[in-house]
A = this chain, B = another copy of it.
Amino acid sequence: MTNQTAQSLAEVARYAGVSLSTASRALNDAYGVSAATRMKVLAAASDLDYVVSPDASRLARGTMGRVAVVVPHIERWFFGQMVSGIERVLSAADLDLMLYHVGDAVDRRDFLARLPARRKVDAVVVVAFPVNEEDRARLELIGAKIIAAGGQSASYPYVCIDDYEAGRLAMDHLLSLGHRRIAMIAGTDPDQPGWPAVSGRTRAYEEALRETGIEPDPSLTRVVDWGPLNAANAMEEILDSTQETPTAVFTHSDELAFGALRTLRRRGLRVPEDISLIGIDNHPMAEVLELTTVAQDVSEQGAAAGRLVLRALAGEGSAVAGTGEIAPIKLVTRSSTRKV
């Protein structure tokens, strides 16, 4: 025990009475070091409270053990869950996580132009980040493995749910309860221009209806930016613009459902007595508000994305372009839906 702190391996080596090379090898659990010597070095390092300089180590080694996570709206539930899942597996693998927020179109352009993560990371996971061919060339300049989460981006390994299936689960539930006049509040992100214009969830709505012999009524649907208040307004519009009140509402997310719920209550419409409501996500508030929903485990999707990173770094072929993982979803019925 000593009070000194070593700032460099050289000091540790000196303290342990060995050469720099040996000290390095001992610390990196490299073989070719006698047990006794290794012990001596380890003891010295611990005595001197030494820890390698990651910069120097990486410079010499050429790799870095760091991964960038690029998210829009880190403050939103979905992305918080995603990041927490990714973080969980990366930190377990001793990888550092650098967070980049890329919110709107301006951020996006700036990110692609400056590529702040360039030469800093071994992998980057882009969350809900649509990339076209042009973006792709830029992105690849980062010189790291790329993984997509929460949406398929070009041909990177990805993990996401099947939006169409999620929509079908919700719609089929409503239809099976006898609902025929069903409104939809669709979510969209104006800041993600590259995202498919019509989401799988919308397609599911239309196809489910048509398969039941119903032609979708445009006056019953609205497309809004994610966020409960927008949905509250959309719900009002729908109620105002139609003679015959729908018997059910399908929203693209639970948060949208919460907003719709507020409007319904204010209008004196009881859920589910007068109108049924279903969302997607299984947001914690869904349980509190008794909302029927299509559940997905976003944090687990983050973890899966983290595992894709690990595989990509290990050079496994399985994390090759186009390799996708579709996360499971399931219907969770609570009391916001009932037979018509």
What residues make up the interface of A, taking CB atoms closer than 8 Å to B?
5, 49, 51-56, 58-59, 64, 69, 73-77, 79-81, 83-84, 87-88, 91, 94, 96-101, 115-116, 118-120, 141, 227-229, 232, 258-259, 261-262, 284-285, 287-290, 299
Q: A107 → chain B, closest Cβ, in Å?
A: 9
Q: A337 → chain B, closest Cβ, in Å?
A: 18
**29 cross-chain CB contacts under 8 A:** A51-B115, A52-B119, A53-B119, A54-B119, A55-B64, A56-B59, A59-B59, A73-B84, A74-B84, A74-B87, A75-B77, A77-B80, A87-B101, A91-B100, A91-B101, A91-B116, A96-B98, A97-B98, A97-B99, A98-B98, A99-B99, A228-B285, A229-B287, A229-B288, A232-B288, A258-B288, A259-B288, A262-B288, A285-B285
Q: 7 closest Cβ contacts across the A-B interface?
A: A75-B84, A80-B80, A75-B80, A55-B59, A55-B55, A228-B288, A74-B84
Judge whether B58 and A55 touch: CB under 8 Å. Answer: yes
Residue of A74, A228, A285 with most partner-chain B CB within 10 A: A74
A120-B54, A299-B75 in contact; A87/B99 too (CB < 8 A)? yes
Residue of A64, A116, A227, A232 with most partner-chain B CB within 10 A: A116
Q: A187 → chain B, closest Cβ, in Å?
A: 15
Judge whether B227 and A284 touch: CB under 8 Å. Answer: yes
Residues of B within 8 A of A284 (CB): 227-229
Q: A8 → chain B, closest Cβ, in Å?
A: 11
Q: A137 → chain B, closest Cβ, in Å?
A: 11
A100-B64 Cα distance, complex, nearest whole Å: 17
Q: A93 → chain B, closest Cβ, in Å?
A: 12
Q: A220 → chain B, closest Cβ, in Å?
A: 22
A54-B120, A87-B101 in contact; A77/B77 too (CB < 8 A)? yes
A83-B99, A99-B87 in contact; A51/B229 too (CB < 8 A)? no
Residues of B within 8 A of A227 (CB): 284
Residues of B within 8 A of A77 (CB): 75, 77, 80
Residue of A69, A80, A100 with most partner-chain B CB within 10 A: A80
